[in-house]
Amino acid sequence: MDILSANALPKYTQIAELLRKRIARGVWRTGDRLPTNEALMKEFDVARITIREALGLLIDEKLIEARQGTGTFVRGVPVERNRWLSVETSLSELVEAYRDTSPELLTLEENSSAPALTEADGKPADNYFFMRRVHSRNGSPYAVISLYLDKRVFRQHPARFRKEPVIPILAKMRKPSITKAHQTLTISTAEADVAKYLQIGLNAPVAEVRRVFTDADRTVIYLAEVTYRADFIRLEMDLTPLAKRRR
């Protein structure tokens, strides 16, 4: 079975990430000798130059070092990625999570047809604007968002909705206002276009969120399907019994 994904990321980058994860998990500890280049070539079914490029990345990161005549050895452990993106469980927390986000607009369509809705979601608005965007923080892309925004809502702040995160703007609006907000999270794998925008491998793990906001008459004013890089996400839950929390 081909270990590497057929995607835009170079094979040596994918191999470097796999080796990096092995070091992080303790498969190889500081001072351990890595398998020979020939063994790695056979494992990943690639040419010698590809292995050398992959190892070169880890040498530059000071995770491994090559010793003349003896092999390649683990030098250090990768720094754990800051999983700053918390899966929020309230609208106010969600608003705060988007404040430092820089969205890049990929697609904007006016008079879009209604999204696929269930009876539990609510009823469709007359018209929607459809947007597809990539959200980044500190220059690193972390989410691809496809969203439908009620045309009545979009028309109130068209310039801001094109350039700014939608939720903080929407949360402050009075008419229409958010009466109900619901989201569902599932774990999946990255498709080709999402992998490209998030700079991850094809079929890399991602978290998919479907988010629905309705107004007072159950009209869906916002629906978003969000794909997050899994390596940016953390999920924290307070499992303290409710009776003890109240004390």
Count up the domains in the chain and report the number. Answer: 2
Rounded (to 5) percent helix, strand, coil in the chain: 30, 30, 40
Q: What is the pLDDT of residues 143-185, one digit of tens each?
A: 999 999 999 999 999 999 999 999 999 999 988 899 999 999 9
Mean pLDDT, range 120-124, rounded to an integer: 95
Tell me how many degrees the CA angle 67-69-75 measures, rounded to the nearest 5. 20
pLDDT of residue 191: 87
Does any domain span residue 204?
A: yes
Query: What CATH number does the domain containing 38 carry?
Result: 1.10.10.10
Is residue 81 scored above 70 in pLDDT?
no
Whether residue 101 sits in one domain with residue 136: yes
Whether residue 123 sits in one domain with residue 63: no
Give the integer Cα–Cα distance in Å for 218 and 158: 23
Whether residue 179 sits in one domain with residue 130: yes
Mean pLDDT, range 186-192, rounded to an integer: 88
Whether residue 36 sits in one domain with residue 95: no
Residue 15 CA from chain centroid, whole number: 21
Q: Above pLDDT 90, what percent of the chain?
A: 53
Domain span including residue 199: 85-234
Does any domain span residue 4?
A: no
Classified as helix, coil or strand, 106 is: strand
Is residue 6 scored above 70 in pLDDT?
no
Q: What is the pLDDT of residues 208-247, one digit of tens each?
A: 999 999 999 999 999 999 999 887 777 766 677 766 656 6
* Whole-Å CA distances, 139 to 85, 163, 199: 15, 16, 12
Give the integer Cα–Cα distance in Å for 110 and 152: 12
Is residue 201 scored above 90 in pLDDT?
no
Tell me how many degrees the CA angle 133-88-238 measures, rounded to the nearest 5. 160
Strand pairing partners for 109? Answer: 130
